[in-house]
Structure 1
Amino acid sequence: MCGIVGIWQPEAAIGIEAAAGRMVRTLTHRGPDDDGVWVDPAVPLALAHRRLSILDLSAAGRQPMLSSCGRYVLVYNGEIYNHLDLRAELDATQWRGHSDTETLLACVQAWGLRRTLERAVGMFALALWDRDSGVLSLARDRVGEKPLFWGWQANTLLFGSELKALLAYPGFRAGVDRGCLALFLRHGYVPAPWSIYEGVSKLLPGHCVDICLRQGSALAKSALPYPYWSFNNTVTEGLSNPFDGGDVEAIRALESRLSETIGSQMLADVPVGAFFSGGIDSSTVVSLMQKQSSRPVRTFTIGFDGSEYDEAKHAESVARHLGTAHTPLIVRPEDALDVIPLLPSMYCEPLSADSQVPLYLISKLARQHVTVALSGDGGDELFGGYNRYLGARRVWLRMQSLPAPLRHAFAAFLRSMSPEGWDRVFSWLKPILPERFRLAIPGTKAQKLADVLELDTEQDYFRRLTSHWQDPASVVLGAREPQTLMTNMAAWPKTDSFEHWMMAMDAQTFLPDEVMAKVDRAAMAASLETRAPLLDHRVVELAWRMPLRMKIRDGQGKWLLRQVLYRHVPRELVERPKKGFGMPIDDWLRGPLRDWADNLLSEERLRAEGYFDPAPIRQLWHQHLKGGYNWQYRLWPILMFQAWISSAEDEL
């Protein structure tokens, strides 16, 4: 992995090289091995790169790189796993080295960019300058493993792997987009194509944008991204062309595809290992890695001492069975707490996943031994692993069995009293209630039930399930949420079931914008490259040809992936409740993080900064501290934004 930046500054070439150098230095953690800046003063355009050497460690792999014909200049972050196969199809008379960067340039020279993107298998974000046509093209991989931000400052075009690179441009000015801040409170991430800053966008996965730089900034600003690969089309084509075979054939087909994919992703000129929790996804990846390796695969696990989140013992049992060279790290609470204040400097826009800290710690651990780590990311979205896929449909059907007027009337009744009022009622009734009706925080649960009873569609229900704040615009001052995939019905995938619809939505939103974003930033903060073989687009396409019964069966998700794993690991070693990769944030906010949070959530600070209405936030904070309520998932996004904005303002 690497970091890229670029500047098109049509009104002046003076200072453009120095500005690009300043921007790319903010990405040193992404590429500690080398850097380079290339300038075309006639345009004027600057491209810059930070390198983490993975393939071809020699100077022949340096970027920015010119094509052999001199027409194209490329900066690129990522890996092309089939680049040797692509080389075999080309008639290049002389290769300068064996980097995939050179392969990409040769492919563009022979076939053009569009066909090259369609043929490339891998993860990437790139910028290609065509010196003949005067077109700068930006492109991002199909599922969004690698980030790419772009935007305008007056008539100057800026792009980079992280927002912090854009902030380093001299005179950069951009305010927080309050609508996107509301989106962040709702989802815990800012969904693409939006970013937290006004006028700066994320390039959508599977998209490219061609910007003509020779006809003025007005025309350049009119350039719109377009898809070269569509997730929705993949869903439609897969469901309309289902896998032709039974269970045994499907298991063999998936194992064959995964084995090939994992084998290609193990190729590197540096040591390779794997993140390993002992769960279904990572165990499948590691078992197929070990099968193809002549030596023990390096695996890394993190656990919290004495915590329900500790997976280290389970992972060690599976690692012992597979024969990996396993390295666990048991983290004390104080170790994790030390990282939390560092999060704003790692993440170029706020992110509220509670797994940020363990991901950074395991990345630091892995980087002591390897330069590349494979992960099991993507298994839940492709093969039906999240709990909401299992229970959401059942709960929704139960609710729909009640006539709408009755549901709405019951919801109105529940809302007729405040949560505190319901708490008092249940407190009075508690001595005579059966045990199963003696609820904790009954008032909050009554309000949540009322929210759900008022919903009319499955899609509304899914949005409710995936929203931390149901009405964030009421908390963010001056906010109006922009349209996203979640609210744009015309852009929804067409599927054969609610479960498949949820999976397709998660794969286009939560997966790239939360899961892969946190993995990229946490690993890059430790200068570690991560690879996700389950997200190879050929695996994605095969998964969508599989019927739902091969994903969810007998009340359990990831059925097909489990069957592949059971061929290598006894099921009793991996069958355990799903825990995730989080931390006990709710308890820490009442304990060791209390002073830190108190400062960030003080009424004076909230009023002075002017982003939030302090009243509802302070109310939640006081309720959380008393211990009767767990408002972690509403408070943590606000805390992450507060910490982030303080850090970002220091950088501006």
Structure 2
Amino acid sequence: MCGIAGYYSLTGVFQTHELQRMGHALAHRGPDADGFFSDSIVGLAHRRLKILDLSQEANQPMFTDNKQHTIVYNGEVYNYNDLRREYQIPVHTSSDTEIILHLLANKGIQACNEFNGMFAIAWYNCEKQTLSLIRDRMGIKPLFYFWDGHNFAFASEIKALLQLSYVMQHTSFNQRALQEFLHVGYSGIEETFYTNIYKLPAGSALTIHNTSIHIEKFWDIHSKIQPEPITNYYQAKETLRDLIEASVRYRLKSDVPYGTFLSGGIDSSLVTAVAQRNISGKLKTFTIAFADSKYNEAEHARKVADFLGTDHTELLVTQADAIRLAHDMLTVYDEPYADSSAIPTMMVSQLARSQVTMTLSGDGGDELFMGYGAYTWAQRLQNPWLQTFRKPISFAMKQGNDRLKRVGELINYPSEAHKPSHIFSQEQGFFSRSEIADLLANYSEDSIQLEEYFNVARHLSVRENQAFFDMNYYLREDLLTKVDRASMRYSLESRVPLLDYNIVEFALHVDESLKIKDNSHKYLLKQVLYDYVPAELFQRPKWGFSIPLQTWLRTDLQFLIHDYLNEDCIKKHGIFKPHKVKQLVQRFLLHNQHHVYNRIWCMILVQRFMEENFCKKQ
């Protein structure tokens, strides 16, 4: 796990001393070593977190023996030893970087189809003066780039791009990203809050030569859905168990101490159980405990750890500890990011880093095996009676208590075309499309560009479609973003066994009847888990990794509302209509409509982002 950055320019607008600044901005991602390369066109920077082959020989940039190719790379390719043996690659190190570079130099971008791992790669052909960026299939590792049609730069995080004076002069606030953020809590699969700064989509490779760039897909999740799903329970369970065992074993390869995040839920418990089964000693496991019992799953994690016999560490954190990190979210994520569970994720990452350098997490299980309540809502909204009368029913429910108001907003979807994003948006408490139109001073109807129904090899049920929507957006742009930035803030590598591409492709092939059975979500995954851990340890309602943000915004964090949502501040930036903001704040603070807290939080994040990034430009 590392940080990478660099540039490509024929005009000489980027300076080598700026390359040093880019690397320094990513020091938290790689505190163990740094390295730089530059010629008349290209600059490459690397910050290393040593995980495999701790020697200096494995530092980057790394070159082929003939010096024609060089690479900076963030991530891990777990099957590198298999590839080394298959292609009989002569090596000087025991790192995966050397294998990746050799295969890219000899096979080109198509070599990525053979990589099993998480990766963000910058590969430069020095002879042809061609630079290629490559991002892993699921987008586990981040990769941003700047492109204004003339000059190009890239980095693991936006903060490194902003070290380039040319970039700062040629970027501004991106209105398109704003509207997607208000609707779903993140800025989309390619857009960021900065014009001319983009995300490289997952499973893609970008190549630049002279002044032309080309982006191609080397892996497309849409093409992995098969015409006929697997319906045989015994076949599916055996296959899934074998795939998870293989994935976890791959991800236990490490030359540094490691452990797992353990919340006591289905996914983290399964990953932990398989990991403990595959090592000789006691696995280190980590969880945090909140004083507020409603948000505290530490007892459940402790029971799982006791059963598995792990070396378990539990840290009791206070509200004051968590609130301090709320102020850091914009710095860590570089742009507005609404998922407040980033705060406990940062806390458990900090805890784990005090003992290990690498962890395994359970992310991905809910999306692959239908763990969310949104999938139930997708089915409910198919009721013909509800479809016909949803408008009056919604109106009536909005006259009720806070919970009924929230349900009323959820069932009032604007159209079939936008139903999946609406379900997600309202389940999370964000703004509906109509609310965004009313709220913004400058509204563009076509700014929310989310693919909501998918052209794939078989017809997807409404629940399957909702889950596939989450795989394409929520998983990639929210959850994986959260874990990467939160863990790398503390120089901690986090690996994601359930998102091994073999498991992803298998899960897409499994019939939904094996994912939800007798109202039990994640049925198949649970049956695999119960081979390792007794089912009675999980007989409780699902509860996410969350914090009492709505309470904090009414108490300790209420000052953020007054600082950033006051009339002067709203008028200063001209993004929101002042009277609409005032109405929403009054609903939350004076009329006890607690369910709008995430809308309040989103506006605070946008206003604070503008204050800290664009005030000097206005």
TM-score scaled by structure 1? Answer: 0.89
How far apart, in 1, do the equivalents of 2:250 and 2:302 lie? Answer: 26
- Displacement of 1:586 in angstroms is 0.7
AA in 2 matched with 1:224: H
- Displacement of 1:446 in angstroms is 8.5
Q: Decide whether aligned partners of structure 1 residues 52 and 135 sit closer, same or farther in structure 2, where only a CA change above 3 A counts.
A: same
How far apart, in 2, do the equivalents of 1:12 and 1:536 lie? Answer: 41
1:203-246 Cα shifts (integer Å, max 9, x gaps): 11001111113xxx2xx2xx2321100000012x3xx2433x73
Alignment of 1:293-442 (within 5 A): 293-393=279-379, 395-398=380-383, 400-401=384-385, 404=388, 410=392, 414=395, 423=399, 439-441=400-402
For the pair 1:82 / 2:79, whether they are aligned, the reply is: yes
Selected match of 2:187 from 190, 203, 224: 190
How far apart, in 1, do the equivalents of 2:357 and 2:516 lie? Answer: 35
Q: Secondary structure at the match of 1:534?
A: helix
For the pair 1:619 / 2:583, whether they are aligned, the reply is: yes
Matched-pair contact (CA < 8 Å) for 1:383–1:561: yes
Q: Decide whether aligned partners of structure 1 residues 549 and 491 sit closer, same or farther in structure 2, where only a CA change above 3 A counts.
A: closer
Alignment of 1:243-282 (within 5 A): 243=230, 246-282=232-268
Matched-pair contact (CA < 8 Å) for 2:138–2:476: yes
Matched-pair contact (CA < 8 Å) for 2:53–2:95: yes
* Equivalent residue number for residue 230 of structure 1: 220
Q: Decide whether aligned partners of structure 1 residues 586 and 78 sit closer, same or farther in structure 2, where only a CA change above 3 A counts.
A: same
Matched-pair contact (CA < 8 Å) for 1:31–1:527: yes
* Equivalent residue number for residue 549 of structure 1: 513
Question: Comparing 47-56 with 151-160, which one deviates more in the overlay?
Answer: 151-160
How far apart, in 1, do the equivalents of 2:457 and 2:471 lie? Answer: 11
1:47-104 Cα shifts (integer Å, max 9, x gaps): 11111111111111111111123221111110000001011122334x1111111110
How far apart, in 1, do the equivalents of 2:340 and 2:390 lie? Answer: 35
1:477-516 Cα shifts (integer Å, max 9, x gaps): 3242656663475767854311111111110111010000
Matched-pair contact (CA < 8 Å) for 1:175–1:198: yes
Q: Decide whether aligned partners of structure 1 residues 402 and 167 sit closer, same or farther in structure 2, where only a CA change above 3 A counts.
A: closer
* Equivalent residue number for residue 172 of structure 2: 175
How far apart, in 2, do the equivalents of 1:310 and 1:58 lie? Answer: 41
For the pair 1:530 / 2:516, whether they are aligned, the reply is: no
Q: Decide whether aligned partners of structure 1 residues 539 and 637 sit closer, same or farther in structure 2, where only a CA change above 3 A counts.
A: same
Selected match of 1:134 from 122, 126, 129: 129
Matched-pair contact (CA < 8 Å) for 1:9–1:156: yes
* Equivalent residue number for residue 242 of structure 1: 229
Alignment of 1:10-21 (within 5 A): 10-12=10-12, 16-21=15-20
1:147-178 Cα shifts (integer Å, max 9, x gaps): 11112256221111111111110242311111
Q: Decide whether aligned partners of structure 1 residues 450 and 384 sit closer, same or farther in structure 2, where only a CA change above 3 A counts.
A: closer
- Displacement of 1:640 in angstroms is 1.9
* Equivalent residue number for residue 27 of structure 2: 28
Q: Secondary structure at the match of 2:118?
A: strand
For the pair 1:470 / 2:436, whether they are aligned, the reply is: no
Selected match of 1:96 from 77, 87, 92: 92
After TM superposition, where is structure 1 displaced by more than 4 Å over at least 4 residues in a row?
A: 481-485, 487-494, 649-652
- Displacement of 1:110 in angstroms is 3.0
Matched-pair contact (CA < 8 Å) for 2:438–2:580: no
Matched-pair contact (CA < 8 Å) for 2:377–2:423: no
Matched-pair contact (CA < 8 Å) for 1:17–1:37: no
How far apart, in 1, do the equivalents of 2:375 and 2:404 lie? Answer: 27
How far apart, in 1, do the equivalents of 2:454 and 2:292 lie? Answer: 48
Question: Comparing 620-629 with 269-278, which one deviates more in the overlay?
Answer: 620-629
Q: Decide whether aligned partners of structure 1 residues 555 and 144 sit closer, same or farther in structure 2, where only a CA change above 3 A counts.
A: same
How far apart, in 2, do the equivalents of 1:212 and 1:296 lie? Answer: 50
Number of residue pairs the alignment of both structures matches: 608
Matched-pair contact (CA < 8 Å) for 2:567–2:578: yes
For the pair 1:118 / 2:103, whether they are aligned, the reply is: no
Q: Secondary structure at the match of 2:510?
A: coil
How far apart, in 1, do the equivalents of 2:270 and 2:452 lie? Answer: 35
Matched-pair contact (CA < 8 Å) for 1:3–1:161: yes
How far apart, in 1, do the equivalents of 2:448 and 2:44 lie? Answer: 31
Larger radius of gyration: 1
How far apart, in 1, do the equivalents of 2:207 and 2:368 lie? Answer: 31
AA in 1 matched with 2:539: E
Among all aligned residue pairs of Structure 1 and Structure 2, give the percentage whose two residues are the same amino acid: 34
Q: Decide whether aligned partners of structure 1 residues 573 and 185 sit closer, same or farther in structure 2, where only a CA change above 3 A counts.
A: same
How far apart, in 2, do the equivalents of 1:498 and 1:617 lie? Answer: 34
* Equivalent residue number for residue 432 of structure 1: none
* Equivalent residue number for residue 149 of structure 1: 144
Matched-pair contact (CA < 8 Å) for 1:381–1:503: yes
Q: Secondary structure at the match of 2:521?
A: coil
Q: Secondary structure at the match of 2:289?
A: strand
Question: Comparing 80-89 with 638-647, which one deviates more in the overlay?
Answer: 638-647
Matched-pair contact (CA < 8 Å) for 1:180–1:482: no
Q: CA RMSD in A?
A: 2.2
AA in 2 matched with 1:369: Q
Question: Comparing 502-511 with 606-615, which one deviates more in the overlay?
Answer: 606-615
Matched-pair contact (CA < 8 Å) for 1:178–1:477: no
How far apart, in 2, do the equivalents of 1:448 and 1:97 lie? Answer: 58
For the pair 1:208 / 2:205, whether they are aligned, the reply is: yes
Matched-pair contact (CA < 8 Å) for 2:173–2:614: no
Q: Decide whether aligned partners of structure 1 residues 397 and 11 sit closer, same or farther in structure 2, where only a CA change above 3 A counts.
A: closer
Matched-pair contact (CA < 8 Å) for 1:475–1:613: yes
How far apart, in 2, do the equivalents of 1:403 and 1:147 lie? Answer: 40
* Equivalent residue number for residue 518 of structure 1: 482
1:533-573 Cα shifts (integer Å, max 9, x gaps): 00000010111221111111010111111001101111111
Matched-pair contact (CA < 8 Å) for 2:3–2:48: yes
* Equivalent residue number for residue 163 of structure 1: 158
- Displacement of 1:643 in angstroms is 2.6
* Equivalent residue number for residue 427 of structure 1: none
How far apart, in 2, do the equivalents of 1:73 and 1:645 lie? Answer: 38
Matched-pair contact (CA < 8 Å) for 2:179–2:447: no
How far apart, in 2, do the equivalents of 1:403 and 1:333 lie? Answer: 43
Q: Secondary structure at the match of 2:517?
A: coil
- Displacement of 1:595 in angstroms is 1.4
Q: Decide whether aligned partners of structure 1 residues 376 and 481 sit closer, same or farther in structure 2, where only a CA change above 3 A counts.
A: farther
Selected match of 1:48 from 40, 45, 57: 45
- Displacement of 1:401 in angstroms is 3.0
Selected match of 1:648 from 610, 613, 618: 613
How far apart, in 2, do the equivalents of 1:190 and 1:456 lie? Answer: 22
Matched-pair contact (CA < 8 Å) for 1:414–1:446: no
Q: Secondary structure at the match of 1:544?
A: helix
